[in-house]
Amino acid sequence: MNQDISIVHLIMNATIVVQAVVLLLLLVSISSWSAIFRKLFALKRVNALNDEFERVFWSGSSLNELFNAATKRASTAGPMERIFASGMREYQKLRERRIADPATLMDGARRAMRASVQREMDVIESNLSFLASVGSVSPYVGLFGTVWGIMHAFVGLASLQQVTLSTVAPGIAEALVTTAIGLFAAIPAVVAYNRFARDIDRIANHQETFIEEFSNILQRNVGAQAATNER
């Protein structure tokens, strides 16, 4: 491509509407890439913290020791550790009220952990809807710029006595630039959204599995304590 039909030259000589669309799409693309990198590092940190807590959880430490440690570092703990802490906190509160019914104890702990899972997933899924919006809307915004640019190009051609390819090409190329930039913004957002959605589903399933395993441990403890009290 020669210099007269370079992308920068086309954008600089485009209409105000087309330039505004290009600027909007570039800002959206930058925001999208920023959200992608933030989410990438955030999910990597979540997985690392969850794996570390699960390793400690199954290492043989007592539930009280784990709960005390989780309470001390509540602000830096991972999602799974906070879920564990919420279940243990509710379980101990019910025990302090001298509630001995196993069903009530387990139901309270499970409800507390389910609520904690929902809070954690809301945080983990933040900015995911933004990527979905970028992926779905950006091509249409680019198409709007293309349609506007083509309309402007044909209006300009109406005043010419003779129309050749050299007179048509710059206007059409100027209009198609917005579609290209719209796809440039949309494709990474769609790919990242699908990747993150799959990773988040895996994290959610992992946390649900942990809740069931921890509930089984609590149930055994409740059963053992009930048997001790009967003696």
Encode pLDDT of 5-43 as tens digits.
566 767 777 778 888 888 999 999 999 999 999 999 999
Take residue 70 and report the two structure tokens written for it: 């989780």
Tens of pLDDT along the chain (231 residues) come to: 444 556 676 777 777 888 888 899 999 999 999 999 999 999 999 999 999 999 999 988 888 889 999 888 877 889 999 999 999 999 889 888 887 788 888 899 999 999 999 999 999 998 899 999 999 999 999 998 888 878 877 776 666 566 565 666 666 777 788 888 999 999 999 999 999 999 999 999 999 999 999 999 888 887 666 556 555
Q: What is the pLDDT of residue 2?
A: 46
Q: In which domain, by residue range, is 23 found?
A: 3-230
DSSP state of 13: T
Find all residues with CB under 8 Å of 74, minimum gap 6, and list them: 82, 85
CA angle 13, 15, 20 (to 5 degrees): 105
Take residue 137 and report the two structure tokens written for it: 């809307």
> Is-contact 174 43, C-beta < 8 A?
no
Q: Domain total for the chain?
A: 1
d(CA 128, CA 186) in angstroms, rounded, equals: 14
> Phi and psi (nearest 5°) for 229?
-65, -35
Mean pLDDT over the full length of the chain: 85
Q: What is the pLDDT of residue 231?
A: 56
DSSP state of 4: G
